[in-house]
Chains A and B, each alone.
Chain A
């Protein structure tokens, strides 16, 4: 099958063989598991258990909080021993809300069942089940899968891409999972295809350095319409944008999602999790994680419970801390260093890398940039990293944006090749943060300015209105005086005449204010027309929403239609009453 070649890219030593000598294993059950409430993009989940409560394996312990959130489940049976802020695996070393479970050692599952008849289940029900299983993209970003699988009717999906590229050196989690679980993975892809309305094109993208995995997949894709597409190994081919280009020759427009061009791209680990969730009814409570690096005596893949601490993993892998130059969660290109091993494995952790000093030595101090351009040759999205570095140092935000800083995927290829050892990606992250901060500040100050200007305008308007009223009153008074002067008999009794004038003036004002029946009727008719339009819109929305929506959303839309209908009835009633009244008057 034809594949396309991305610009740039690098070929770092693969170092994948070390962790592929043995099959996937399981670690001894840890005594305690720490489940961060935020393991995905979006708002953290909300605990639905209290400290001291007994939970079974697979039981939900935290609810999703909003559409971009996913629930969490107990990875083993035991007692909730703490709900508090703990250090998590984050590049800043920050604390985050977590639930700690003390294992009871029984690892006892809650009762769970999958769908009996997947083929006849509605996509909406399957998506709901995937959301309930707490599945978020397992390739790295942790995007909630249920959202990805609901692109909406206005974006029909014609291509489903399964990302089995695994282009980062050292990591073999996907590779080993494919070798051992190809049938289940293909089953998972089938479910995804069903959810997405059977896209015409389903491809598994995989680099040609995984011949065993390709061979394991091939027998299972026969007659399924799924094609296994291998392409030359190059970092970073596994980036979503890069993979889509390699397989289809199409680019996702800057700022858009793959669904905008009719594609969905999921990690192959996610497809396995989907199969477990739908067919077996098991939520996402474990994943394959590679333990590798020369500072560990044992390099292999583990089916790791979410919440297992990195130190537990190291302790079971003959870890030699003195020989370890750094501890990395993820791969050597995009992974982030951990300052402590007492942090949990999360849903996106595909690798723990504990390299020796020989493997990954301390970084040399940075030398000046000589603008050699090797970074530009390596950049997979055709940026000019040397220029970005220059403007990043100068904090020139306009130039940075003109050089498309925000299209940088932070793959690290530029830093990898830089002969001057400049930590380019770090500079870009810093500048992105600064620009975002400046943008937020600008929005805030714009708001404040608008508020102030509106306030000024309002005060001025109020002043003007007052002035106009005063002028009107003065005029009315003068007219009354003139009237009084014109009829001298009334003016004889000054006091009584004055009172009569005031009453007359008030009556005149009331008459002026009173709207003619025709105007009133027109007003009612307008409001009916408006109500009809709103009703129509609400009905259209409900009709459009169709099957892709959850019950809750459907309820809201139905309520909106009902409300609009009632308003219309009311308006019609008012008009009828008015006409009756008005006609009565005419009869009189």
Chain B
């Protein structure tokens, strides 16, 4: 009788990478729904277009690298990168913006570094930053939230949206406008109360900015689902959100004309919640230990706030995440957990135990 030689353990949990990726994909749905309700079909078109581009690009590169295409495509990692980028891009952005960003994410930021698991930077954020620097106009043109559309004007329908994205059709006047972070940043000389009273983006909102608050709540719900499914631990997201809250409380000077904005605005505007639960939680490019992720998350939170408050860009999640990616291996060296039977934590760089 002959039997196969197989290394222990023989039992395995039913979890696999594709399932993890799929679960994250499902968890983006509340955010996507909020985006679609408040900003029209644009985000959905972004997501579909980015996904198709990503899958084709990924398959092509894997083929070039001489690897089994189906095996690698089945891990859904390319789809996830594309969906996250598509959600981050402005709705109704021209198709080539989406395609260029996705290609950059998949080909340059992911596959050229060795594919899944080897990319030092978050691929979606690399794509996003490349677009933001290269095409500032397209990247800062956002759609006006549903509640603030002028009378008699609605968001373009699905077909019209497709024509805008692919055919270069100009959207009707009033359909596009600034984001809350944008308008807050450039409302010079006004007290915070005045901005909140004058700008309908704030005056008609409940906690942060019309439409945006719901998008953030959507991503928060999705993120909490992932947290409950133990896809990631609480350390990173909580540290990032706590750092943003702390910084905005610290520098909230009661609402003068120099105030960088309230904690609620910073927590529920822009890409905060998406960043905290879907972007910075990318395990490949983040710090590995729980303590490391606390530091990594806090670093992102502080950087987001610094760039929003004193930088030239209204939002900063992408920059903050990429900067923290640089720091991750360094953080890892000094945040090893204390192993059983050892009195102290060790450093990854030490030659011999003290």
| Chain A interface residues (CB < 8 Å from chain B) | 10, 12-13, 91, 93, 169, 241, 245, 251-256, 311, 321, 324-328, 330, 332-342, 353, 355, 360, 363-365, 367-374, 376-377, 380-384, 386-387, 398-399, 402-404, 407, 410, 412-413, 415-421, 423, 425-426, 429
Nearest first, the 5 A-B pairs at minimum CB distance are A412-B9, A368-B117, A254-B341, A381-B340, A332-B11
- List the B side residues contacting A93 at CB < 8 Å: 5
Inter-chain contact B11/A373, CB cutoff 8 Å: no
Known: A253-B341, A382-B340, A387-B332. Contact between A326 and B7, CB under 8 A?
no
Inter-chain contact B288/A371, CB cutoff 8 Å: yes
Inter-chain contact A334/B117, CB cutoff 8 Å: no
Write the B324-336 contact mask toward A (1 if CB under 8 angstroms, else 0): 0000000010001
B10 partner, pick from A332, A340, A404, beta carbons under 8 A: A332
In the complex, the chain A residue whose C-beta lies closest to that of B118 is A368
Q: Which one of B139-147, B181-189, B344-352 is at the interface?
A: B344-352
A326 partner, pick from B4, B339, B341, beta carbons under 8 A: B4
- List the B side residues contacting A420 at CB < 8 Å: 16-17
Majority SS at the chain A contact face? loop
B145 to chain A minimum Cβ distance, whole angstroms, is 35
Those of B247-305 within 8 Å (CB) of chain A: 283-284, 286, 288-290
B348 partner, pick from A324, A342, A355, A403, beta carbons under 8 A: A403
Inter-chain contact B348/A387, CB cutoff 8 Å: yes
B75 within 8 A of A: yes
In the complex, the chain B residue whose C-beta lies closest to that of A253 is B341
Alpha-carbon distance A156/B343, docked complex (angstroms):
23
Inter-chain contact A334/B342, CB cutoff 8 Å: no
- List the B side residues contacting A360 at CB < 8 Å: 10-11
Inter-chain contact A381/B339, CB cutoff 8 Å: yes
Tally of chain B residues near chain A (CB < 8 A)? 50
B1 within 8 A of A: yes
Known: A370-B283, A372-B283, A387-B348. Contact between A334 and B9, CB under 8 A?
yes
Inter-chain contact A368/B288, CB cutoff 8 Å: no
A587 to chain B minimum Cβ distance, whole angstroms, is 67
Known: A333-B10, A425-B8. Contact between A407 and B16, CB under 8 A?
no
In the complex, the chain A residue whose C-beta lies closest to that of B71 is A365
Known: A387-B348, A402-B350, A403-B336. Contact between A367 and B17, CB under 8 A?
yes
Known: A367-B75, A371-B117, A402-B349. Contact between A377 and B233, CB under 8 A?
yes
- List the A side residues contacting B232 at CB < 8 Å: 372-373
A290 to chain B minimum Cβ distance, whole angstroms, is 15
- List the A side residues contacting B115 at CB < 8 Å: 368
Known: A371-B288, A372-B283, A417-B15. Contact between A426 and B7, CB under 8 A?
yes
CB pairs A–B below 8 angstroms (18 shown): A93-B5, A332-B8, A339-B2, A341-B3, A355-B10, A360-B11, A368-B115, A368-B118, A371-B288, A373-B232, A386-B288, A402-B347, A402-B349, A402-B350, A407-B342, A415-B12, A416-B12, A419-B19
B157 within 8 A of A: no
Inter-chain contact A416/B13, CB cutoff 8 Å: yes
- List the B side residues contacting A372 at CB < 8 Å: 17, 20, 231-232, 283
Known: A382-B340, A402-B349. Contact between A412 and B16, CB under 8 A?
no
Inter-chain contact B288/A383, CB cutoff 8 Å: no
Alpha-carbon distance A311/B2, docked complex (angstroms):
11
- List the A side residues contacting B1 at CB < 8 Å: 311, 321, 340-342
- List the A side residues contacting B75 at CB < 8 Å: 367
A333 partner, pick from B2, B11, B286, B336, beta carbons under 8 A: B11
- List the B side residues contacting A418 at CB < 8 Å: 12
Inter-chain contact B337/A382, CB cutoff 8 Å: yes
In the complex, the chain B residue whose C-beta lies closest to that of A378 is B13
* Known contacts A365-B71, A417-B13, A425-B7, then 12 further A-B pairs from the complex at CB < 8 Å, ordered by chain A residue: A326-B10, A328-B10, A332-B10, A355-B10, A367-B116, A370-B117, A372-B231, A383-B339, A384-B289, A402-B336, A402-B349, A419-B16
- List the B side residues contacting A423 at CB < 8 Å: 7
Alpha-carbon distance A328/B7, docked complex (angstroms):
10
Alpha-carbon distance A365/B17, docked complex (angstroms):
12
Alpha-carbon distance A371/B232, docked complex (angstroms):
11
In the complex, the chain B residue whose C-beta lies closest to that of A430 is B7
B6 within 8 A of A: yes
Write the B203-224 contact mask toward A (1 if CB under 8 angstroms, else 0): 0000000000000000000000
B16 to chain A minimum Cβ distance, whole angstroms, is 5
Most buried by B among A373, A383, A425: A373
- List the B side residues contacting A404 at CB < 8 Å: 339, 342, 346
Inter-chain contact B3/A419, CB cutoff 8 Å: no
- List the B side residues contacting A407 at CB < 8 Å: 339-342
Alpha-carbon distance A185/B77, docked complex (angstroms):
55
Alpha-carbon distance A410/B9, docked complex (angstroms):
9
A184 to chain B minimum Cβ distance, whole angstroms, is 32
B37 to chain A minimum Cβ distance, whole angstroms, is 32
B82 to chain A minimum Cβ distance, whole angstroms, is 17
Inter-chain contact A254/B342, CB cutoff 8 Å: yes
A235 to chain B minimum Cβ distance, whole angstroms, is 9
- List the A side residues contacting B339 at CB < 8 Å: 254, 381-383, 404, 407
In the complex, the chain B residue whose C-beta lies closest to that of A381 is B340
B256 to chain A minimum Cβ distance, whole angstroms, is 43
- List the A side residues contacting B9 at CB < 8 Å: 332-334, 412-413, 415-416, 425
- List the A side residues contacting B10 at CB < 8 Å: 326, 328, 332-333, 335, 337, 353, 355, 360
- List the A side residues contacting B347 at CB < 8 Å: 402
Inter-chain contact B283/A373, CB cutoff 8 Å: yes
Inter-chain contact B117/A419, CB cutoff 8 Å: no
A207 to chain B minimum Cβ distance, whole angstroms, is 17
- List the B side residues contacting A426 at CB < 8 Å: 7
A340 partner, pick from B2, B8, B337, B340, beta carbons under 8 A: B2
Inter-chain contact B336/A241, CB cutoff 8 Å: no
- List the A side residues contacting B117 at CB < 8 Å: 368-371
Inter-chain contact A340/B3, CB cutoff 8 Å: yes
Inter-chain contact B338/A382, CB cutoff 8 Å: yes
- List the B side residues contacting A413 at CB < 8 Å: 9
Alpha-carbon distance A342/B284, docked complex (angstroms):
46
In the complex, the chain B residue whose C-beta lies closest to that of A354 is B3
Alpha-carbon distance A573/B169, docked complex (angstroms):
119
- List the A side residues contacting B349 at CB < 8 Å: 402
Alpha-carbon distance A44/B3, docked complex (angstroms):
27
In the complex, the chain B residue whose C-beta lies closest to that of A359 is B11
- List the B side residues contacting A419 at CB < 8 Å: 15-17, 19-20
Alpha-carbon distance A383/B284, docked complex (angstroms):
18
